Amino acid sequence: MSTEHDNPDNQVMCQCSGTRRSRIRDLFMQGQDMQGISSMTGALTGCGGCEWEIGEFLEELAKNLNS
């Protein structure tokens, strides 16, 4: 049985702002870059610990979009 916690979309990628993977993907699909996503969610504006993970996720999304 799957729970809400099993869904990767529910993963919080930025602990400081509480921004989830699904929100980042949705904004990317709307044409936002890392700076736009940061402005709209507050991600990347706290401790900076999420920068690498979010950057990698955006690269993965871009790669899949261009395949």
Domain-embedded: residue 38: yes
pLDDT tens for each residue of 16-57: 999 999 999 999 999 999 999 999 999 999 999 999 999 999
Of 59, 53, 55, 61, whose CA–CA distance to 25 is shortest?
61
Q: What is the signed CA dihedral for 34, 36, 37, 42, rounded to 10 degrees?
A: 110
- What pLDDT is stored for residue 1 in this prediction? 46
Which tokens hold the place of 7? 């869904």
For helices 34-41 and 51-65, give the axis angle rounded to 10 degrees: 120
The predicted pLDDT at position 5 comes to: 65
Does 1 map to a domain? no
* Structural domain contains residue 2: no
Structural domain of 53? 10-65
Q: Is residue 53 part of a domain?
A: yes
Here the CATH number for the domain that contains residue 51 is 1.10.10.1100
- pLDDT level of residue 4 (50, 70, 90 thresholds): low
- Number of domains forming the structure of the chain: 1
Q: Which residues, other chains included, contact 11 with Cβ-Cβ below 8 Å and sequence gap of 6+?
A: 20, 21
In-domain check, residue 3 = no
**Given the DSSP bridges, would you call strands 12-14 and 19-20 parallel, antiparallel or unpaired?**
antiparallel
In a domain, 4, yes or no: no
**What pLDDT, on a 0 to 100 scale, did the predictor assign at position 67?**
80
